[in-house]
Chain A
Amino acid sequence: MEKERRFRPHIVQTAPDDSFCAGCATCEIACGLIHEGAVSPSYNRIFLGRDHRTMVHTVYACQQCEDHPCYENCPKKDEAMCIDERGIVYINEEACIGCGLCRKACVMDPPRINLVKSKDRAQRKAKKCDLCRGREEGPACIQWCPVRCLYISGGEEQ
């Protein structure tokens, strides 16, 4: 039996009767602009799963697993993939070689780590939500969501 997975605080979506995601992609956009200066499906660290038929959309972000398999699988652990004082795994892009092993190790479906694909190997980088580490205003997706349907969980069990 799979062990009970524990998470640190992470970005979650509220229930529709609290606030309903309109599917505008502002979370993805703000994430890309704040961190990369661009909007791109390859850059964002939060993902909008759109249901074209029902228009009930789902926001996905890293759930900050306590056992952090992504970190454990990084060949440059503590150099490219590091853990901060809150226990949150973050990526040091200078050292990241874009091998994709962290993404492969992600236990979530869909995986919560993005990967920049490029012919230029130096441009290949992993992107992962670290709750906008060091940003005074907190996570950009929460700050800019027009319908306030995102918040940071207090930690929970799956």
Chain B
Amino acid sequence: MSATMTGLSGDGVQAVSIGAAKPVGRLADRVFVGLLWGCGIFVLVLLGLIIAMLFHGGLPAFRAFGLDFLWTATWNPVTENFGALVMIYGTIFSAIIAVVVALPLSFGIAFFLTEIAPPVLRRPIGVAVQLLAAVPSIIYGMWGFFIISPLMAAYVQPPLIEWLGPIPVIGDLFQGPALGGGMLTAGLIMAVMILPFITAMFVETLESIPPMLKESAYGVGATTFEVYKNISVPFGRTAMVGAIMLGLGRALGETMAVTFVIGNATRLSASLFAPGATIASTIANEFPEAAQGTLKLDSLLALGFILFVISFIVLALSRYLVRSNLKS
């Protein structure tokens, strides 16, 4: 620790201020470059160790259940029979709801901020959106649990269940008692949580559109909506994909807020209002009571590994989409 400090604050500074002292400078430079290498390698090693630890810990579960672990919908701690399907489904479903809700909203905010908002409003709204990102996850959870869930139970879910529930196929999404929580509520809370990240990326993209493009569009008599439709959206498409994936990635791993509102039931249900579970919420719920050497703990670690793989796939997919979009 102290050696690191010396390297950074002592020699590094000296090398800059006394440029003439070449030999010392060269040594310092080598130390500096070495440190940078260390930083880079550190991330790789850390990530590798985490993956290895999760995989190693989850291995007994994979051994016991085989690949069936991925598509078994039971989670029974009593009989020690575990499957990840309910959690995988819940994780992906709730994250998709979050992105579907957050996407149009954040594009609207971003377009408003860059095109329409008077300068007086631009800063307050921008800061407000950024502050949303600074609100701790647990606060969103409490807000969702104490404010949003009761509202959903009283005003949103009962009419939807009554009106849409009887329709075939679509009705399956609107079944069950109005508990307030559930998949949709979790998705809505997460939508608010990922809003600032997606908005920030959109704002950046929209600001990078050459003003000439938009000015010429306005010049030939295009309306605000036409500029939005024909200039901003096509131009921002690549960044949009990136933003969606970034939001999705964040929503996949969200733990605390989801645990509060999702209802925590390890049963598979198509309904938006039914209680469910995500990988992260299950780990948060079950970890403290999972004793060492039990299949339960192994299965939780295996869940962690699966979440890691899902996140990795999402990230890889976004890279691929962004790159192929850039080419075309």
Same complex: no
What residues make up the interface of A, taking CB atoms closer than 8 Å to B?
none
